[in-house]
Amino acid sequence: MARVSSITTLKKKADETLHFDMDFTNRMATGETIEDSSPAPAATQTRQGGTASTDLTIGSVAVSGQTVTMTISGGTDGRKYKVNILITTSTGQILSGDGILSIRD
């Protein structure tokens, strides 16, 4: 399982389905948590450069404390994708986290 706390480039193969963590600990106060509903964390992805993508799937988004875990599958060999997570915290902060996912077979 990969852990992301700032913009990091992660790698996976196109035929793999992997779990990735995005850790917001360094941006939140002690005891502050991520709200898992109302609104739920939103995960989005685009091809690097901003073009819409339908070949990468983000599913099974779950929250534990100050970390969001997601399952990512698909993608096209040789492409890079920007993965964004938007969260609301228990103190009302709205935070955005980004990661770069590189597909390499």
Beta carbons within 8 Å of 30's beta carbon, 6+ residues apart = none
Among 5-14, 69-78, 81-90, whose mean pLDDT is lowest? Answer: 5-14
42-59 tens-digit pLDDT? 777 777 777 777 888 888
Whether the CB-CB separation of 80 and 47 falls below 8 Å is answered with yes
Give the pLDDT band (50/70/90) at residue 1: very low
pLDDT of residue 16: 96
Among 4-13, 14-23, 46-55, 88-97, whose mean pLDDT is lowest? Answer: 4-13
Query: Using CA atoms, how far apart are residues 63 and 89, in angstroms rounded to an integer?
Result: 11
Whether the CB-CB separation of 46 and 81 falls below 8 Å is answered with yes
| Cis peptide bond N-terminal to 41, omega within 30 | no
Tokens 């955005």 found at: 96
This prediction has a pTM of: 0.81
73-89 tens-digit pLDDT? 999 999 988 888 889 99
Q: Enter the tokens of residue 59.
A: 């599913």
The correct CATH number of 2-103 out of 2.60.40.10, 2.30.110.10, 3.40.190.10, 3.40.1280.10 is 2.60.40.10
Whether the CB-CB separation of 8 and 22 falls below 8 Å is answered with no
Tokens 């969001």 found at: 68
17-38 tens-digit pLDDT? 999 999 999 999 999 999 886 6
